[in-house]
Structure 1
């Protein structure tokens, strides 16, 4: 397998401060569960298959890794805080010592292209080639209003089996119309899922130290 990596780039900017959201009524949000960690014998994708590159950073907090262009990671960073990875896995420098792994949320669109890209990234992580990463899960952003077509729903279940957790964010009409999301005017369904995702982000202490 080709082990060459894309050229390393400089660390990205420090994480943003996540706003405090008002509580929403307690309702069950479906979070799909899958593999809790890398799996022995798993082979990751090659560069020709579209393997993501890496970049050096000692930044703490949450990272949002878009599996492909237009995944929606920038919107999540704006809403929930954190660092956008620009389609590269974070890695620690050689002199980082016992630096805590980078907490990653993988992001993709819930369409064929997005799910394929998420699957490749999940395989990459599962192969164990990113020891500096602590994958929290996958966030799938719906790419159309209405019920998810059966083929995409089935593919979602398959991909979710390869990552610790999967959140599916329903269609957000204002994102399509304005390019931004206002928390106060969010529709009920995406608000519920984003609230659950915010709670997962809140569990991650930016000042974490290795156990």
Structure 2
């Protein structure tokens, strides 16, 4: 219905003879779902932003293997998933950086709206961690969930096509990329 000088005028859409205007005014807007609704009981994995706390943490590799947004060493932007997985290598500098990033969240200094879900520690070398580094990992584990990623020789060579390591099954479930 078009209104001109206070008088209803017939316009496009059904109902002008009743003075009702376009059909949308009668029944309201029709919202089409962007995605089909999940079936009852269906698990829908959460999307994550991978954030590296040290150089060479493996953010791009993890995002390629497990899905999610590769934030590099920056905080996710407004259009990125707000659920954050902090990523660090298991060397001394990486573990210190992870502890510092946890402190940023604890003090409320992380960008508003971000949700820290876990820390992902990527092995910096094959084999067991030396005791001082293992002790730092325990400190991190005492405040947040930690997922460990072992040394993967094929990833070092750029081959990301195989199955994720068996030791990362919990991380694969978290990100919805389980076998």
TM-score by length of 2: 0.66
Structure number with greater CO (CA < 8 Å, separation at least 6) is 1
Q: Please say if 1:140 is aligned against 2:121.
A: yes
Tell me the equivalent position of 2:62: 76
Distance in 2 separating the partners of 1:73 and 1:101: 15
Partner secondary structure for residue 129 of structure 1: coil
The answer (yes or no) to whether the contact 1:75–1:180 under 8 Å persists in 2 is no
Give the gaps of 5 or more residues in structure 1. 1-59, 94-99, 204-211
Give the gaps of 5 or more residues in structure 2. 1-45
Q: How does 1:4-83 map to 2 (within 5 A)?
A: 61-83=47-69
Q: Could you list the per-position Cα deviations for residues 135-194 of structure 1 after superposition, in whole angstroms to 9, with x for gaps in the alignment?
A: 1100000111111111110011112223x2001111111222x1333324x6xxxx2232
Q: Which of 192, 198, 205 does residue 166 from structure 2 map onto?
A: 192
Superposition RMSD in Å: 2.3
Distance in 2 separating the partners of 1:76 and 1:140: 11
Distance in 1 separating the partners of 2:149 and 2:53: 16
The answer (yes or no) to whether the contact 1:72–1:141 under 8 Å persists in 2 is yes
TM-score by length of 1: 0.56
- Paired residues in the alignment total 131
Determine which structure has more spread, i.e. the larger CA radius of gyration.
Answer: 2
Distance in 2 separating the partners of 1:76 and 1:120: 21
